Structure 1
Amino acid sequence: MSDTRITLAEARAYDRKRWLWPMGFGIIILVAAATVAGWLSGITVLMFAGPIMVYGIVPLLDFMIGKDSTNPPERVLDVLEDDPFYRYSTYIYVLVQLVLFIAVCVVVGTQPLTIWQWLGFVSTIGMLSGISINTAHELGHKNTAVESWLAKIALAPVAYGHFYVEHNFGHHKRVATPEDPASARLGESFWRFLPRTVIGSARSAWHIEKRRLARKGRPTWSLHNEVLQSWGMTAVLWIGLMAAFGVALLPFLIIQAVLGASLLEAVNYCEHYGLKRQKHDNGRYERCRPEHSWNNDHIVTNIFLFHLQRHSDHHAHPTRRYQSLRHFDEAPELPTGYAGMIVLAYMPWLWYRVMDHRVLAHYDGDIRLANLDPRNRDRLLAQYPPPAT
C-alpha cells in the first residue's frame, strides 16, 4: 500500500494565499504610518487613511483583482489546521493593533491637534479597531486559553467584549432566525439594524453568562463572568490611558469605539440579510446550512478579514481556522466583497435595489420564506407577491 500521508510542505502548496495572510497586519501598519506621516507633514488627508482604505481602496482592489474560489482538498485540512504560521499571523495582528492604538492615544493625549487632525486620528483608529474585532472573532472560536485571552484583548480597545460571549453562544445558535439580533431582516435598513443588534447582543450576552454561571452555582456578579472580564479589560485600558494622558482623551476613546463597533455590525448586516432557517413541524429550526449565509470570494477582503467571507463554512465548522474554510457553490453570493457591501449598507435605497431581488431569487420568488422585517412585512408581500399555490 502506498503512503498517503500529506507533509506540511505539500499541504502548504494548496494554499494559494499563504504568503498574503500577513498582509492583514502589514496593511494596518501602512495605514498607521500614512496617518502619522499626514500629521507630521501637514497633509491632513493622509490622516484619514483608515476610512479611505476601508471604503475606497479595498473595494476597488476587490473589483480589480477578483475572486479565488479554490478549496484545499479534504486530505490536507488537518495538516493546514496544525500549521502554526496561520496562528502566528493572528497573534501578531492583535499585538500590532494594540501597540498602534496606544501609540495614537499618546499622540492625541499629548499633542496639540487641529479638529481635522483629531478627526483623522479617530476615524482611522476607529476603522482599525473595527477590523480588529474580526481578528477577535477568529481567535475567539478556538479552544486554547491563549487565543481566548487574545480575543478579549483585541476587543478591549473598542469596548465590545460581550461579543466574545454573544457571538459564540448566541449568534451561532440562533443565526438566520428572527430571534437573532445579529441577523438582518429583509426590508430592515442598516440604521434600524444597528441599535437593534447593539442592544440585543449586549443583552443576550449578559443572559447567556447569567445562565451559564447559574448552572455552575456561581453568582452573576463575579470574576467568573466573561462579559464582566471583557468589560473590565476595557475599563482598565481606558482608565490607564486617561490617567497617563488626560481625561480629555475620553471623547477620542468613545468615538473610535463607536466607529469600530458600527463597522463590525455593518459586516454582520451583510452576512445573513433576509436569510432564514425554516421551522420543522416540531417547532425547531432546521440545521444551519450553506444557504443561510451570504458568501463572497473576492481576494482582497478575504485576506483583510481572514476568510470571514467564507461564512457558510464558518457556521458549519466554527472552530475551523480561516486557512481551511471552503467555498460552497450552493451558498448565496454577494455581488462584491464585504468592504464594498458596507458602503451600500449605509445607503438603504441602494442596498434594497441591489440585495432584495437576490433574496427573492434565493427563495424562488416566495418571499414568505425570507426573514422579513415585521415593520415592512405587508409592504414586502405586496411588492413581491408570493407565487400562487
Structure 2
Amino acid sequence: MSQDPVEIDSTETNGAGPVQVQAEATQEIEPSILTALPHYLPLGVFPLILLAALWGGWWLLPPMVFMSLSWSFDRVFGRDGRIMDPWKTPKHRLIWHNLPVWSWAFLWPPTLVFGLWQILVADPFVWWQDVVLAIILTMEAQAVFVVGHELIHRRTTWERRIGEFLLSSASYPQYATEHVYIHHALVGTPYDVGSAPKGESFWRYMPKEIVSNLVNSWEVARERLARRRRTMWHYSNPFWRYGFGVAFWYALVFWMGGIWAVPVFAFLGLSCVFSMKISNYFQHYGLRRVRLENGRWEKIMPRHSWSADWKFSNWMLFNAQRHADHHAVASRQYPLLQVSLDESPELPGTYSDMMNIVLKPKKWFEKMDPLVDQWRKHFYPEIDDWSVYDSPLAAKRPDAFDTIVEIFGAAPRLAKWIERNPELLDNLQEQEFLDLDLPKGFEQDEEFESIARRGLARVYWTYEMGVQEMKDLIVELPVVDAKETAEIVRNWSNDKVFQIGMHVMRGNLLPAEARTALSNLSEASVSTVLASVVADFGERYGTDSVGEVAAVFLGDLASR
C-alpha cells in the first residue's frame, strides 16, 4: 500500500508567502519487535527520573535535557511515512507495539509517587533541587494525555480504566467521557467547543473549553444513565470512578506534604491540561464540517483535522500526530493509524513548532489563517462565505444554526445585531412570531402562499398591534421604578424590533409596513417610559414639583 507524493501549500511563519512542501510517499511495514522498537523511546526517561529523584544534583540534568531537546530531533530524523495495513493486521500481532503503552501506563504512577515522596517527605535535597525535580515530573506528566487518550479509546475495559486513572493523576478524568462521546461525535461543528473556529485565539479558547469539558461530560453521563433508567447515584456513573481517582491522588499528596502540597499538585495537573489544550486547539483550528441540505452535518473525514507525520514525534507520542485518521476511525490503535496525504491538511511544522506559536495569537493567525483559506478553497470551492461558520454566534447557539445561516446570508445588519445579542434568537420560538411565520411549502401555489404569509404579518403589525395594544402589553410587565421600566421596555422593544426585522427579511412585511410597526413600537415604548419617569419623579419630590416634560423625536415618529 502506498500513496504518491502530493504537494501541500504552506506559509512561512513570517508571512512571506506560500511555499511548496512535498510530503513523502508512504511505506508499508509489518508489525514486529523491530518496527515497534522506536516506540520504546518514551520509556527511556523513567530511569533518568529515578536517578534524579534518588541523587539530585547533576542527575537532574539528563531528564531535563532529554525532555527539553528531544523535539528538535524531528528535523534530524525527518518525516515518517511508514504505515501498516489496518485491514490485514490482526490485533494480536500488535503486542510489541502495545507493550510500551502499557509499560508507560504502569510506570508513571509509581514514578510520580516516588518523586512526590522525595520532594514532600524524604526531602534530601535543597529547595532548588526540589523545584527542578517538580518541573521534571510536570514535564513528563504531560504525556499522561498521550497515553491516557490512547487507552480510553481501547475496547477492553481494563485498558480504559487505566486510561481514566492516568487522567485522574492530572485532575482531568472527565476527559474520558467528553472526548469520546462529545468531541468525536461533534468535531468540526459549532456544537464542539473543542473545535476552534477561525479567528479565535487560544487564550479565548482554553477557558471555555475547560468549563464545557466538565459541564458537558456530566450532562452526557446523566443522559446515558437516563436512557438505561438509572439515576446519577448509580454505581455505573463514571464520575464515581473519576471522583475516587482524583480523591486518591489528592489524599496521597495531602498525606505526604500537608495542605500546602495540594495547590502545588493542582498546578501540576493544570500544566498538563494546558499543554493538552494547546494541541487540541491546533488539531482542528478553522476546519469545519459543512451543514448538508437535509440538516445533517457531513461525515467526519480526514480533511477535518490537521495532521503531521514527523518520525521522532511519532515515536515519542505514539503516532498522535496522525490525528486525521484517528478521527476517521477512532477505534484504530496507534500502530495502524494511516497517513492521509491526499485528504488531510498538514500542519506547517512539527508539534513543537505549533506549540511555540499558538501562544502568540497575531503570529498564529498570520501563519494559519491563509492555510485555512486554502483548505476551504480546495475542499469546498462552492462555498464563498464562511462567516457563519467562523462566527462565535454559531458556537454559542448551535441549535439555531440554520436560522443564523439565513440571517448571515440575507441581512448583514441583523447578523451583527444577533452576534452582540444572541438571546434575540429566542424570540423566533415565541408563539407570537410562529403564528405569523407560516411554514414554507404549505400551499402549492407560491403566489397564494406569499399573499397568505404577508397578509397575516401585515394585519397583525399594522392594524391589530397598534400603539394602545402595545402599551397594554407593556403595562403587564412587572416593574418597580422608572429605571427598571426603562430597562425592561428596552429589552421588550428590542425583541419586537428583531421579530419585525425577521418578517421583513422573509418577505412577510414590506419595508413601508415595517416602518409603521416600528413607529408604533417607538411611540408606545417612549410614552410608557416617559409616564413612568414622571410618576417616579412625583413620588420622590411631590406632584407639585413636576413640571412639563418634552421629548424630541426624529424620523417617521416625528410626523405623528
TM-score tier (shorter): 0.7 to 0.9
Q: How does 1:71-150 map to 2 (within 5 A)?
A: 71-74=83-86, 76-77=88-89, 79=90, 82-110=93-121, 111=123, 116-150=128-162
What CA distance in whole angstroms lies between the structure 1 residues aligned with 2:59 and 2:83? 43
Aligned CA distance change for structure 1 residues 202 and 94 (closer, same or farther; 3 Å) = same
Amino acid at match of 1:91: W
Structure 1 residues 376, 167: closer, same or farther in 2, change over 3 A?
closer
> If you compute each CA radius of gyration, which structure gives the higher value, 1 or 2?
2
State the match for 1:12 in structure 2. Answer: 31
* Unmatched 5+ stretches in structure 1: 1-9, 382-389
Shift of 1:359: 0.7
Question: What is the root-mean-square deviation in Å for CA atoms of aligned residues?
Answer: 2.8
**Aligned residue in 2 for 1:179:** 191
Question: By how many angstroms is 1:17 displaced?
Answer: 4.1
Structure 1 position 146, deviation (Å): 1.3
Listed one character per residue, the Cα deviations across residues 267-288 of structure 1 (whole Å, up to 9, x for unaligned) are: 1011101100000112211010
Counterpart in 1 of 2:544? none
Aligned residues: 362
Letter in 2 for 1:336: G
Deviation at 1:119, TM superposition (A): 3.6
Aligned pairs for 1:1-389 (under 5 A) are 11-12=30-31, 17-30=35-48, 32-33=49-50, 35-36=52-53, 40-41=56-57, 46=61, 49=64, 56-74=68-86, 76-77=88-89, 79=90, 82-110=93-121, 111=123, 116-329=128-341, 330-364=343-377, 366=384, 368=386, 371-374=389-392
Following the alignment from structure 2 to structure 1, what is the Cα–Cα distance between the partners of residues 377 and 112? 47
Q: Supply the distance in 1 between the matched residues of 2:393 and 2:75 (Cα, whole angstroms).
A: 35
Query: Which amino acid letter does the alignment assign opposite residue 36 of structure 1?
Result: A
- Cross-structure match for 2:463: none
**CA separation in 2, counterparts of 1:131 and 1:373?**
33
Q: Tell me, yes or no, if the aligned pair for 1:139 and 1:147 is still in contact at 8 Å.
A: yes
CA gap of 1:187–1:48, structure 2 versus 1, over 3 A, is: farther
Shift of 1:259: 0.2
The TM-score normalised by the length of structure 2 is 0.60
Task: Provide the C-alpha distance between the structure 2 equivalents of 1:274 and 1:223, rounded to a whole number of angstroms.
Answer: 40
Q: Is the 8 A contact 1:136 1:152 kept in 2?
A: yes
Conserved? CA contact 2:31–2:93, under 8 Å: no
CA 1:266/1:238 → structure 2, altered by over 3 Å: closer, same or farther?
Answer: same
Q: Report % sequence identity.
A: 25
Structure 1 outlier segments of 4+, above 6 Å: 375-378
**In structure 2, what is the Cα distance between the partners aligned to 1:179 and 1:119?**
41
Q: Contact conserved, 1:23 with 1:303, CA < 8 A, in 2? A: yes
CA contact (8 A) 2:36 2:96 kept: no
Equivalent-residue separation in structure 1 for 2:47 and 2:190 (angstroms)? 39
**Separation in 1, partners of 2:194, 2:51:** 33
CA distance 1:283–1:315, change in 2 (3 Å): same
Deviates more, 1:269-278 or 1:80-89: 80-89
Q: Please give the per-residue CA displacement for 1:18-66, whole angstroms capped at 9, x wherever unaligned.
A: 2111112223543x257537x722687x3982xx655x42331112211
Supply the distance in 1 between the matched residues of 2:181 and 2:260 (Cα, whole angstroms).
37
C-alpha change, 1:47 and 1:202, in structure 2 (3 Å) is: farther
Normalising by structure 1, report the TM-score: 0.85
Report SS of the residue matched to 1:11. Answer: coil
Unpaired runs of at least 5, structure 2: 1-28, 379-383, 396-407, 413-560
**Kept in 2: contact 1:297–1:310 (CA 8 A):** yes
